[in-house]
Structure 1
Amino acid sequence: MSLTNSKINRIIRLVITGWTLLLALPLHAQTISGRVFDEETGEPLPFVNIVYNSRQEGTVSNIDGYFTVPSAKAAYLRVSYMGYRTQYLDKQHLLQKPLIIRLLPAEIQLQAVNVFPGKNPAETIMEKVLRNRKQNDPDDLNGYRYTAYNRFWITTEPTKKTLFPTDTTAIRLLQRSKKQHLFLIETVSRKNAEKPNREHEEILQSRVSGIQNPSFMLLATQLQSFSVYRNQFQLLNQEFLSPLSRNAIRNYLFLLRDTLYSPEGDSLFVISFQPRKNRNFNGMTGTLHINSNGYAVETFLSRPAHLEKGTPEINIRQKYNRLPDGHWFPLELDTELKFHLNELPGAKSSDSTLNKVQLVGKSRTYLMQREANPVFTAKDFPKNAVTFSGDKQPLPANLQQFRESHTSPLDAETYRVIDSLGRASHLEQKLQTFKSVINGKVPLGPIDWDWKRLVSYNRYEGLKLGLGLETNSGLSRYFSIGGYGTYGFQDKKIRHGEWLNLFPSGYRDLRLQFSYQDENMEIGGNDFLEKRDLFQPEFFRDLLIRHMYATRRYSAKFLFRPLQTLKIQLTGDASDNRFSVIGADSVQKYKLSRVGIQLRFAPGEKTYKAPDGIYTFKPAASEWFLNAYRGVPWLDGQHSYTKLELKGRMKFMLTPSGATHLTIKAGDVTGDVPYPELFNGNGSYTSNFALLAPYSFATMRMNEFISNQYAAVFIRQSLGKLFMHSNTGFHPEILLVQNAGVGKLDDKYRNAYQPSAVDFRKGYLESGLELDNLLPTGLLSYGLGVYYRYGPYALPNSSDNWAFKIGLFLNFQKQ
């Protein structure tokens, strides 16, 4: 009986297996799969139009060039792509396994058409797309979550220059790139997002060729622009007006290139875009696939319409599809950066190798387990927007299988070679040193040397030489001890400071500090909760300071960060101070004790909590600073007063041509106020021709005015860059400048300190014009500015109302 049952079971298994194979064969034969490549570079082509019959039914290749069409409906293939020659494949070619299609590039010029005999059909479609922006934009969902696999790699590619056998270095670089990448990062992360501004991405696993420090892993997950519907694309300090911005039809020319019909019966409109003639803005050119189901973007492919010399070429590709609930959501994201080596800082443009090889960085993200409008809890959103879990457990089988399907032999060779080189050359230690140097410190074992204190200058102390040292995490991540000393060659004084920092959590955003300073401070100046270094535009005004007071100050400060957008510092200090009233020779002394609070609020700022520190990866569009101090009679303090200070700076787009930068400053002090705690006018005029100091009054003399209440606004409006359509590499930027302020000095302070003191209660006005980005030289660029003073405080001699300035900017400086 058991034998009979065994035979029956075997027969059943054979029957099931046989039928399964028979059913699977026609199912497999129902589709034709292929892949599209660039004939010259061998790179897969994303979002290629594939039409497979006379009814214009078709599809689009994915971000890796793969496509699938139904074999029953496929009579032929028409394969077309902007910038490439269209290729036709008959039915016989469709039987090839694997089906590989290689397209040849073709030089094309987009039609410069601005007027149509009737309504431009592409504009009619785009009007519907713009009307549906809100319902199709994933950023407008109440929330979403997804898991992402990201790859970021660096390689080399040939330029359009002809390679000769004598170009041995270029040939070797290109041959090496066929065997391995120069650098590779892989990450798997899980992201949650919820309106209005809550998001958290957890890096589950990551691998970096040559290094282990998780802080560098952030680069791979944050390079992408998530939504195509944003008004601006921002990447590597470049901003582009999106072809899906609110006023896109006014600024962009759209042309209907083709219409396909999907298997679901939807129309797929292929629309090209480029900036309209005589429009002066940073624009893009490329192709959109618009799905008639909701008039949503299905694919987006773009590059800069005009490429400035010295800036990388940026190619952005995105693919969307519909979730089961009907929402359109990103599926694949791709960003490519091409750096022309001969245009990088320090490169020689005549070097034949650099002319014929370009460095290419590629970031590709695949989104899985996507969900719209999920239910979240507070635990889903920790304080920092990105965290590293350090999870060493294996990935789920589906994620691991997906990763393996997207890797290549180049990846394994990259890890083998670069990991070995990294260990041999101590690459990670060198990168840590570079990171410290950017932050102003040079690590010398367990001690950091503060190179920013080596040389400094102001008009009161003259040239200053100094030395600053502080222990680093090599000694302990829970405390640091530091100090500095400087010598001013004009005032011939040695100044110094010492401090002890305690970090209870091991991170720098929670700090208790005890310090002593013997230092000179600006009379009427301010000290907000921000760094004052050469990366800030206000740095240049610090070079012009000429009125200072001496202070010896003991301080205790407690800094904490309750939100990633908010820093709070509680402070208390006691000081002995000496000052001279401007225009007087006598020296006055006083003791001061203060308690206070300092705030920094940066809405939209995002931070990454890595094992070795907290990093800001998304800067805020605006920053707000508030100081509140109270003079108290403790520790022999002689003055009782209240002081409030405010500063805000923001950046926004009023016109497509350029950004608007706005800075607001205000202050109020009441009570028994010592003279140095009053406010100066924030002027920066030292002579008719001097250094440009943004966000100060260019025509106002230093300490020309004094007040106990003031408010000022500084506006810089970019009108765009000149000669954007030329290839000269000369693209100066025009800015209009408007500054205005008002300040009042109460009589009791004027009588107590300086009867001749003048305020500006009637309103101070000046306007100016700047030409920036003149003579750009790698990290530096130069500018010129001319300003005119008018209104109630215009000077009698009209020539004295003019100021001419020379600007010097770091190209990555915060504007």
Structure 2
Amino acid sequence: MRNLLLLTFFSITSFLFSQTKIKGQVIDFDTTIPISFATIVHEGKTTTTDWEGRFSITVSDFKKPIVFKYKGYYDKFAYANSKTTFLLIKAVTDINQKKQELYTDNDVNKIIKKVIENRDTNDPDEKLGSYEYKNYEYIQVSANPDSISSKIDTIYKRNIFGKRRIKLDSTNYKFKKIIENQHLYQTEKVNLIQHNQQGDKETVLATRMAGFKQPIYEFLGLKLISYSVYENPFEILETPVQNPISNYGRILYNYTLIDTVKVDGRSAYRIYFQPKKLRSNRLRGLLYIDTKTFAISKAYYRIYGIVNINATYTFDYLKDQNLWFPKKREFKVHKGSNKEDLKILGGTIKFKASLEQNNENNTSDQAYLQIESTPFDIKINKPVQISKPQIKINVPASSLNKPKSYWSEFTKDTIDKRKIKTYTSIDSLSVSERIEDRIFLGRKIINGYFPVSLFDIDLRSIIKYNNFEGFRFGIGAITNDKLAENYSIAFYGAYGLKDDVFKFGITPSYRIDKTSETWVSASYTDDLNEIAQTSFATDSRRFKIYDPRPINISTFYNAKTSSLSIESKILAKTSSYFSIAHNSITPLFDYTYSVNDVSYTKYNLSTAQLSFQWNPFSNYMQTPLGLIEYEKRHPKFSLQFTQTLPGITEKEINFSKIDFKTYYEIPYLSGQKSTVLFQGGIVFGNAPLTHLYSIAPNNINRDAILKRITFAGKNSFETMYYNEFFSDRFLSLQLKHTFNRVNIGYKINPEFSVATRFAWGTIDHPENHIGLPFKSLEKGFIESGVEANKIFKGLGLTTYYRYGPNQLSNFDDNISIKITYFLDLGL
């Protein structure tokens, strides 16, 4: 009997020790996206991957396969051995399935339909008349020290003679030491969130950013993810995606009912959703749906792509309101399938190219960005007063200098010892590296100025070139806040070497109101203008190291202009401009305007101009520095009216002009983007050629293709020749799609774009314009091309081809090859 017991014991222990518990993950072979709730079979036993594609299985016979099964993929047979601890299964798409899509079962489809139908009764923004709460938000860029190897690597490099050079790489070791002591970066804020029938508003009560006395205000408005799970479109990394609980979302996503669980003591359906197209990098996630109210009681979201994104929403059930109200929001971004850098606040986080586990543990490959947002002091259906609801975020000066004792209330429960050291360390680094001064300088430069004492030097006035003036040298400046906050004087002077003429301008201004940025200005200029150019007074002034289009322009007119103007942002989401101007105009080319038997070679025009730029989908922030468009959304619209003033203008020259422009930019989570630019204009009455439309041509009239190579413009028609077409009414449409940069090697990383441009226009009485031959655009104009930008050090090439009704008979004349240049200021 004793021998039998011993034999049984040894048999059982032998069997137990022969079993090996293995963890694993299933990913798509091409996209590396985890495959959720797939079937794993081994020795007749079945398990299921979780929603991140992970599984755990006990293996007793290593000769028998671990089989993966999932619709849309080939069955995959994998084998483990006694040393295997983690098994990565790469599933291959079944090419025999022509339409690789999943379809939602009818039962779970009814649940999702109920969620959509009950959105208004479950969304706090819709159900509650008003609410407000304070919110503590903490953002950090960090890494897990345990995930980083501390070894010092040996690197072998070849020199120009072919011999190997040995170098010790201590990057991992140094990075681990830093990250054990502090985070890479952090910032935190306390804000008041208010909601009533007028909308929502955020007021920053306190904020501090490591390394900055004054915060980077644009960062306070950074919306990395939607506040509400009911918002549609749902936003992630400032990119809109279709919400899975929307009517259109039901077309894009497949839903699977996993089980029923308890959340806060209430029953909830646990439903997994993923794109119907399995290999798409769209949103995936788990929704916990209250079985009685069909409200979301918890939610997890994931996106796998160039960066991997994890978002978690938790809620508290408010019994009195029968409502799930936000409790906490967590958001994390870490490495994805890209090799590009992710820049955050001037720092750089580098991501690896694969989800595969490896033993390299390289430095910033382990870095992540994390946000935690926690509401407190919640008040429901109490009177809430919102001032200036069109301004979504208000940052008063009182929020910038809170004492350390204020922040101790939010850090007293933390076990993160690295947090306090981060502020001390980065503050010291910021002072030594003058980071705050560099950001101040960057803000100036991006608007085209360089501060020197009491003046900001105008960088765009220093040197220019065009065919008429040759090299144009000048100097310009504007007084800054060190001299006076509410007064400024802008001035410039320039001299052209080829035309041998001095040009100048002066503009004194007075600020009436700081909040709305309302300025009144007077100006006088004596300068050149391009003929038939369309410009909007409300267009933003952005810095360019050069302006490529005017280089080859020869047809200018001289304008001596006196004007009074007022500009303001007093209207919600609108920049407005009004001016009255008198112009003495002299065309500097062979031109006579003949109308009603009267001929003009020079003329006087007095005009009133009213201009608006309306950004209805953008959001604005009020700061001590002024109004900031912190969330730039599209489309944007510009509208401009110009009217000559009778009795002051030349008798026979009297016209009205209406110009319109809209710009739409569509970003994608993949990093690609599409843009649409639509413009139109119309002139009523008698207008000279200088004030008609030429629609931004950018091709010079030379025989050979290589002789026409110049710089490309931003939105110009590259195959349209200068002075080829003029119109008194026109329409143009430009479509462009930009792909991700391609890493070819040797620091050659082109960014490819494809573009198509259309234009149409007509002109009445072309016989009135004498001296400059041109054609009408009534048959239309089409060009398409490929751009390879940023190939090396910002330089690139574009190639465009002209076709359609205005195609030229000589094939070579329809081709344009241009050089592009993009200056990255790192801001």
TM-score for both structures, normalised by structure 2: 0.71
Residue 686 of structure 2 is aligned to residue 667 of structure 1: no
CA distance in 1, matches of 2:365, 2:738: 35
The aligned counterpart of 2:624 is: 611
Secondary structure in 1 aligned to 2:484? coil
- Structure 1 661/755 Cα, relative in aligned 2: closer, same or farther at 3 Å? same
Cα distance between partner residues in 2 of 1:653 and 1:474: 40
1:781-800 aligned within 5 A:
782=796, 784-791=798-805, 793-797=806-810, 800=813
Kindly provide the amino acid, as one letter, of the partner of residue 304 in structure 2: A
Partner of 2:138: 151
2:780 to 764, 780, 787: 764
Aligned to 1:570: 578
Per the alignment, residue 186 of structure 2 pairs with 184
Aligned partners of 2:796, 2:228: CA distance in 1, in Å?
35
Does structure 1 retain, via aligned residues, the 8 Å contact 2:756–2:784? yes
> What is residue 3 of structure 1 aligned with on the other side?
none
**Amino acid in structure 2 at the alignment position of 1:701:** Y
Q: Which residue of 2 aligns with 1:62?
A: none
* Partner in structure 1 of residue 759 of structure 2: 740
Compare 805-814 and 149-158 and name the one that shifted more. Answer: 805-814
Contact 1:641 1:672 in 2 (8 A): yes
Deviation at 1:764, TM superposition (A): 0.8
Equivalent position SS for 1:758? coil
Q: What residue identity is the alignment partner of 2:555?
A: H
Please say if residues 464 and 546 of structure 2, whose CA atoms lie closer than 8 Å, have aligned partners that are also in contact.
no
Deviation at 1:122, TM superposition (A): 6.5
- Aligned-residue offset at 1:616: 1.4
- 1:305 counterpart residue number: 304
Q: For residue 643 of structure 1, what is the amino acid of its counterpart?
A: S
Q: Deviations over 1:166-204 (max 9, x none)?
A: 5544333333333323433221111234567x4432111
Please state if 1:520 is matched with 2:507: no
> Which residue number in structure 2 is paired with residue 626 of structure 1?
639
1:438 deviates by: 2.6
Counterpart contact for 1:697–1:766, Cα < 8 Å = no
- Counterpart code for 2:603: Y
Q: Secondary structure at the match of 1:177?
A: helix
Tell me the equivalent position of 1:336: 332
SS at match of 1:416: helix
8 Å CA contact 2:748–2:792 kept in 1: the answer is: no
Query: What is the aligned length?
Result: 705
Q: CA RMSD in A?
A: 4.9
1:318 alignment partner in structure 2: 313
Aligned AA (1:154): V
Distance 1:358 1:572, change over 3 A: farther
* SS class of match (1:563): coil
Q: Distance in 1 between matches of 2:381 and 2:549?
A: 49
User: What are the within-5 Å matches in structure 2 for residues 622-701 of structure 1?
Assistant: 622-632=635-645, 641-651=654-664, 661-686=675-700, 691-693=711-713, 695-701=715-721
Q: Which moved more, 1:592-601 or 1:690-699?
A: 690-699
**Cα distance, 1:595–1:369 mapped onto 2, change above 3 Å:** same
Alignment of 1:365-380 (within 5 A): 365-370=373-378, 377=385, 379=387
Distance 1:505 1:474 in 2: 18
User: Match of 2:443, SS?
Assistant: helix
Query: Structure 1 residues 716, 382: CA separation in 2 closer, same or farther (over 3 Å shift)?
Result: closer
The letter of the residue matching 1:663 is L
How far apart are residue 681 of structure 1 and its match?
A: 3.6
Q: Among the aligned pairs, what percent are the same residue?
A: 20
**Could you give the per-residue CA deviations for residues 357-395 of structure 1, whole angstroms, max 9, x where no partner exists?**
555433322223456777655636365643325169989
For 2:355, the equivalent position in structure 1 comes to none
The CA deviation at 1:521 is 1.0
Quote the offset at 1:163 in angstroms.
4.3
Structure 1 unaligned regions, length at least 5: 1-77, 89-103
The 3-state SS of whatever aligns with 1:390 is helix
Q: Structure 1 residues 588, 806: closer, same or farther in 2, change over 3 A?
A: same
Shift of the alpha carbon at 1:448?
1.5
Q: Matches of 1:460 and 1:454 in 2, distance apart?
A: 17
Q: How does 1:520-599 map to 2 (within 5 A)?
A: 520-531=528-539, 541=549, 545-580=553-588, 588-599=601-612
From the superposition, tell whether residues 394 and 683 of structure 1 become closer, same or farther in structure 2 (CA, over 3 Å).
Answer: closer
More deviation in 372-381 or 533-542?
Answer: 533-542
Is 2:172–2:363's contact at 8 Å kept on the other side of the alignment? no
Equivalent AA in structure 2 for residue 155 of structure 1: S
1:60 paired residue number: none
Q: Match for residue 165 of structure 2?
A: none
- On the 8 A contact 1:789/1:802 being kept in 2, the answer is no
Equivalent position SS for 2:507: strand
Query: What's the secondary structure of 1:604's corresponding residue?
Result: coil
* Aligned counterpart for 2:725 among listed residues 674, 695, 705: 705
Tell me the distance in 1 between the aligned counterparts of 2:797 and 2:196.
Answer: 43
**Residue 787 of structure 1 contacts residue 804 of structure 1 at CA under 8 Å; is this kept in 2?**
no
3-state secondary structure, aligned to 1:504: strand
User: What is the alpha-carbon distance in structure 1 between the residues aligned to residue 372 and residue 525 of structure 2?
Assistant: 50
Q: Distance in 1 between matches of 2:109 and 2:791?
A: 39
Match of 2:9? none
Residue 457 (structure 2) aligns with: 449
Q: 2:270 is aligned with what amino acid?
A: F
Partners of 1:533 and 1:560 in 2: CA distance: 15
Partner Cα separation in structure 2 for residue 456 and residue 306 of structure 1: 43
Say whether 1:438 aligns with 2:446.
yes
- Tell me how far 1:486 sits from its aligned partner: 3.3
How far off is 1:525 after superposition?
A: 0.8
* Distance (Å, rounded) in 1 between the aligned partners of 2:740 and 2:197: 36
TM-aligned CA distance change 1:786 to 1:649, over 3 Å: same
Task: Report the Cα offset of residue 480 of structure 1.
Answer: 1.6
Shift of 1:501: 1.9
The question of whether the paired residues in 2 share the 8 Å contact of 1:85 and 1:105 is answered with no
State the 1:127 CA deviation: 5.4
The structural deviation recorded for 1:813 is 12
Within 2, Cα distance between the matches of 1:653 and 1:261?
40
* 2:701 corresponds to 1:714: no
Provide the rounded CA distance (Å) in 1 between the counterparts of 2:675 and 2:644: 34
Deviation, 1:519, is 1.9
Aligned to 1:601: 614
The aligned counterpart of 1:472 is 480
Structure 2 equivalent of residue 269 of structure 1: 270
Using the alignment, how far apart are the partners of 2:689 and 2:250 within structure 1?
57
Q: CA deviation at 1:603?
A: 0.7
The 1:129–1:348 alpha-carbon spacing in structure 2 relative to 1, beyond 3 Å, is closer
* Aligned-partner Cα distance in 2 for 1:411–1:552: 61
**What pairs with 1:109-258 in structure 2 (closer than 5 Å)?**
114=100, 119=105, 126=112, 129=115, 136=122, 145-157=132-144, 162-166=149-153, 167-193=169-195, 198-216=199-217, 218-219=219-220, 222-230=223-231, 243=244, 246-248=247-249, 250-252=251-253
Change (3 A) 1:205 1:655: closer
Whole-angstrom CA distance in 2 between matches of 1:315 and 1:450 = 45
Give CA-to-partner distance per residue, 1:563-606, whole Å, 9 cap, x none. 24112212122232211456789993222222222222111222
Aligned amino acid, residue 725 of structure 2: F
